[in-house]
Amino acid sequence: MADDEVERGSGNVFADLGFPRPEEYKAKVLLALRIKDRIADQNLTQQDAAHRMALSQAGVSKISRGIVSGFTFDRLFRCLNALDQSVRIVLESAPEEPGRGRLSVEGAVAGA
């Protein structure tokens, strides 16, 4: 590709960069961004947030920076609940691609 050419992304930077399980990674990062927003909205320090979410301050720091390796979906959901955020899981058919469902997070951040 020439220096002045632009390649359109897939909409998932983690897929474009070759991450394993990119949909899962994107979903976890969106949840982490929502956690970060809830902490800011409630004017919590990382220490206060850590206490509410039953994490270490270092764990809150990681989530706030979008570092989600080592965090399960369940743990991220419980963190959101501890910050007065409801989580709803919706299951639906994916007929456009038989045998291949999708994972997505909606409502985590504006425009996501």
Q: What is the CATH number of the domain that holds 90?
A: 1.10.260.40
Task: Using the structure block, give the residue that is written with the tokens 């919590």.
Answer: 44
**Nearest one of 51, 47, 52, 46 to 85, comparing CA atoms:** 52
Domain boundaries, position 27: 14-112
Is-contact 52 44, C-beta < 8 A? Answer: yes
The pLDDT tens digits for 72-92 are 999 999 999 999 999 998 888
What's the pLDDT at 112? 43
Within a domain: 62: yes
pLDDT band at 6 (very low <50, low <70, confident <90, very high): confident
Within a domain: 2: no
Within a domain: 5: no
pTM: 0.80
Between 64-68, 85-89, 102-106, the lowest mean confidence (pLDDT) is in 102-106
Within a domain: 3: no
What is the DSSP track for 44-72? --HHHHHHHHT--HHHHHHHHTT--TT--
Within a domain: 6: no
Work out how many domains the chain is built from and give that number.
1
Within a domain: 57: yes
